[in-house]
Amino acid sequence: MAGKYTSVYALRRVLNGKAKNPHRGVDFRAPAGTAVKSVAEGRVILAESHYYAGNSIARTDT
């Protein structure tokens, strides 16, 4: 993969001094327009920018 890892899966996050749920994804830094590949078949159900989650892509198996 051409992007650089910027966060790993299950990283424990702390916001305002309180532990939150572990990170449920893997973050990569890559130039705009870089193709995104999935590890499994599915349909993209979300591709948006979010305040806490940043630029996010989600898929479903159905």
Residues spanned by the domain of 21: 4-60
Count up the domains in the chain and report the number: 1
32 three-state secondary structure: coil
pLDDT at 50: 84
pLDDT at 25: 73
pLDDT at 5: 65
Are β-strands 27-29 and 4-7 bridged in parallel, bridged antiparallel, or unpaired? Answer: antiparallel
Per-block mean pLDDT, blocks of 10 residues, the chain (62 long): 65 83 77 78 85 78 73
- pTM here? 0.45
Residue ranges of alpha helices (H) inside the chain are none
What's the start-to-end Cα distance of the chain, in Å?
26
Calpha distance 28→46 (Å, rounded)? 17
Residues 52, 24 contacting (CB under 8 angstroms): no
